[in-house]
């Protein structure tokens, strides 16, 4: 009797194994492992080739250059390449200082200029930023830079040996978020 029971148990075990194998053979499990690496939205000023020149009101270089040899123009980065300082020394009325630099997209995501805010409080003259219509300009990664310019001009209300300031902010946003609500 004991032997008979043992045989039945063994038989059942074998049967179960057989059923199990056959079940496993008739199913598949597929796996998908996903990772997402986000891009880098970045915009910077590029001062590697910045330059300046002194022109008259007609856009003609001041001749002879000795007339403007005392004027000093410096453009340099602030805390990072997203801030620049422009310094003009010994400027006098009627000269137009043109400063040229670039705006680049060193990131991996296209962006569009969403906003441009210029602040020129009590400036005795004009500060003009270019290009005109910068808002809405899109720059893809690797595209040629956007050439930017600032033209600073003092009129005759400027005091001698004085200091005046101006500032601007450029906001860029991911290309498919433009315009921001």
Contacts of 32 (CB under 8 A, 6+ apart): none
Q: Find the binder of another protein among 42, 108, 128, 138 (CB under 8 A).
A: 42
Report the C-alpha gap between 119 and 127 in whole angstroms. Answer: 9
Interface segment toward another protein; rule CB under 8 A; list 7-15, 18-26, 35-43, 139-147: 35-43
b/e map of 115-132 (b: 16 or more CB within 10 Å)? eeeeebeebebebebeee
**Only segment of 8-16, 26-34, 81-89, 134-142 that touches another protein (CB under 8 A):** 81-89
Q: Which of 50, 52, 84, 110 binds another protein (CB under 8 A)?
A: 84
Chain residues 155-174 in contact with another protein, contact rule CB under 8 A: 156, 158-174
Distance of alpha carbon 84 from alpha carbon 82, whole angstroms: 7
Three-state DSSP state, 56: coil
Residues lying near another protein in the complex (CB under 8 A): 41-45, 56, 66-67, 70-71, 78, 82-95, 103, 109, 111, 114, 123, 127, 129, 150, 152, 154, 156, 158-174, 177, 180
């Amino acid at each position: 009797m004991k032997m008979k029971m043992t045989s039945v148990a063994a038989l059942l075990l074998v049967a179960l194994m057989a059923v199990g194998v056959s079940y496993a053979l008739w199913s598949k499990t597929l796996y998908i492992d996903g990772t997402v690496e986000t891009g880098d939205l970045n915009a910077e000023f590029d001062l590697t080739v910045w330059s300046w020149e002194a022109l008259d009101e007609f856009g003609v270089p001041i001749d002879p250059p000795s007339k403007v040899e005392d004027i000093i123009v410096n453009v340099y980065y602030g805390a990072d390449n997203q801030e620049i300082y422009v310094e003009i020394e010994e400027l006098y009325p009627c000269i137009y200082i043109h400063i040229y630099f670039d705006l680049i997209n060193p990131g991996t995501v296209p962006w569009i200029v969403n906003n441009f805010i210029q602040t020129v409080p009590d400036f005795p003259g004009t500060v003009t930023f270019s290009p005109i219509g910068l808002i809405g300009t899109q720059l893809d990664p690797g595209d040629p830079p956007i050439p930017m310019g600032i033209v600073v001009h003092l009129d005759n209300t400027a005091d001698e040996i004085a200091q005046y300031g101006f500032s601007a902010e450029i906001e860029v946003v991911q290309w498919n978020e433009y315009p921001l609500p």
